[in-house]
């Protein structure tokens, strides 16, 4: 350290680093900071509005809009105790969980059959499943509303639980097919030699190995059903059966005076469950998202 030569060479390295750092600040860090700011600002705005007292909400001149003096829980209290919001949260949770479980169960069997049982026409079935994934809800909701009405489950949570798997199953099956493909045939063959049945192979060999795939598919399916809007908007009319996105939009928005505090609190608490779930399983989420694209 005391060697002057070493210090000099350190200086040179330091200069180089400084130069490239300066360059990097302009071409990497600065644009990245702008991206992160723009992508996160609406959430900050949502959160800060939810805890702002009413008198500060629109008074930008006297109170800085970016900060809050004396935060209040008034909006949140109003949301949870004077509206049907807790019920909507419960409905969303119930519908998302039930449809995810149904979709996962159906997809595991379908993906296993397509990838490993290899029945006649398995490849065509796989392609059809992929095409089904590309059918958007916005062209299905009118005939589905018709069907839901005729079956007699209009305005029930069951209508959502039964219709959500239509967009979950294709996605989950497609994803799980990719996972099953990576499990070596040899494992199944040796299990078959040992006298295992197909059912035992599926539950004892394949499923334990496919747990990461199941988690990815489950997380993604849960998020998709939590976020679903057009079916819930069309099939549900009474307040007690609504999901969070529909409830917040149709019941908290009324008249000409918007209660921004309560509205933003509703948006915030409706987002939190998926964000928390997502934060625990980021890698699974990313792999399911990119996996569906890369296959």
Partner 1 sequence: MGKATTSARNGTFLGRLTGSKNGLGLIFMLPAATFLLCFLTYPLGLGVWLGFTDTRIGRAGEFIGLENYIWLLDDPVFRLSVFNTILYTSVASVLKFGLGLWLALLLNEKLPMKSLFRAIILLPWVVPTVLSALAFWWIFDSQFSIISWILMKWGWIDTPINFLGDPTNARAAVIAANVWRGIPFVAISLLAGLQTIPASLNEAAALDGATSWQRFRRITLPLLTPIIAVVMTFSVLFTFTDFQLIYVLTRGGPVNATHLMATLSFQRAIPGGQLGEGAAIAVAMIPFLLAAILFSFFGLQRRKWQQGGAD
Separation between Cα atoms, residue 118 and residue 109, nearest integer Å = 12
Question: Exposed, middle or buried, 74 (CB in 10 Å: 0-12/13-18/19+)?
Answer: middle
Q: Which is nearer to partner 1, 6 or 253 (CB)?
A: 253
Min separation Cβ 261 and partner 1, Å: 10
Cα 246 from chain centroid (whole Å): 17
Cα 82 from chain centroid (whole Å): 28
Q: Which is nearer to partner 1, 6 or 21 (CB)?
A: 21
Q: Which is nearer to partner 1, 7 or 127 (CB)?
A: 127
Six-digit token string for 158: 């069951």
Residue 47 is inside which H or E element, if any?
Answer: helix 30-50
Radius of gyration for the chain, computed over Cα atoms and rounded to the nearest angstrom: 26
Q: Which is nearer to partner 1, 5 or 294 (CB)?
A: 294
Min separation Cβ 19 and partner 1, Å: 16
Q: Which is nearer to partner 1, 93 or 289 (CB)?
A: 289
Nearest Cα residue to 43 out of 280, 262, 229, 264: 264
Min separation Cβ 147 and partner 1, Å: 6
End-to-end CA distance of the chain: 54
Separation between Cα atoms, residue 210 and residue 208, nearest integer Å = 5
Q: Which is nearer to partner 1, 9 or 67 (CB)?
A: 67
Q: Which is nearer to partner 1, 7 or 253 (CB)?
A: 253
- What does each C-alpha distance from 74 to 13, 63, 271 come to in angstroms? 56, 18, 19
Q: Which is nearer to partner 1, 6 or 109 (CB)?
A: 109
- What does each C-alpha distance from 282 to 43, 286, 287 come to in angstroms? 18, 6, 9
Min separation Cβ 8 and partner 1, Å: 27
CB proximity list for 284: less than 8 A, separation 6 or greater: 212, 215, 216, 219
Q: Which residue has the tokens 């071409």?
A: 27
Min separation Cβ 174 and partner 1, Å: 11
Six-digit token string for 143: 């005939």
């Amino acid at each position: 350290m005391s060697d002057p030569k070493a210090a000099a060479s350190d200086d040179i390295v330091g200069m180089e680093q400084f130069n490239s750092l300066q360059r990097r600040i302009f071409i990497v860090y600065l644009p990245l900071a702008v991206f992160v700011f723009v992508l996160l600002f609406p959430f900050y705005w949502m959160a800060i509005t939810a805890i702002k007292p009413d008198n500060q909400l629109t008074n930008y001149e006297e109170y800085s809009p970016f900060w809050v003096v004396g935060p209040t829980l008034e909006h949140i209290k109003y949301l949870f105790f004077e509206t049907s919001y807790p019920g909507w949260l419960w409905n969303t949770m119930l519908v998302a969980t039930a449809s995810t479980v149904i979709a996962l169960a159906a997809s595991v069997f379908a993906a296993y059959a397509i990838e490993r049982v290899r029945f006649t026409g398995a490849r065509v079935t796989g392609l059809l499943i992929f095409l089904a994934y590309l059918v958007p809800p916005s062209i299905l909701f009118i005939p589905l509303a018709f069907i839901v009405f005729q079956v007699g489950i209009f305005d029930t949570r069951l209508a959502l639980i039964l219709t959500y798997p239509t967009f979950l199953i294709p996605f989950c099956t497609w994803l799980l097919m990719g996972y099953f493909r990576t499990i070596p045939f040899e494992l199944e063959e040796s299990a078959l030699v040992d006298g295992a049945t197909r059912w035992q192979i599926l539950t004892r060999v394949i499923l334990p190995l496919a747990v990461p795939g199941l988690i990815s598919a489950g997380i993604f399916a849960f998020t998709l059903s939590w976020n679903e809007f057009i079916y819930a908007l069309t099939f549900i009319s009474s307040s007690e059966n609504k999901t969070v996105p529909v409830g917040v939009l149709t019941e908290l928005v009324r008249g000409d005076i918007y209660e921004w505090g309560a509205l933003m609190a509703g948006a915030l608490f409706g987002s939190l469950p998926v964000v928390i779930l997502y934060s625990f399983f980021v890698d699974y989420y990313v792999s399911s998202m990119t996996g569906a694209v890369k296959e």
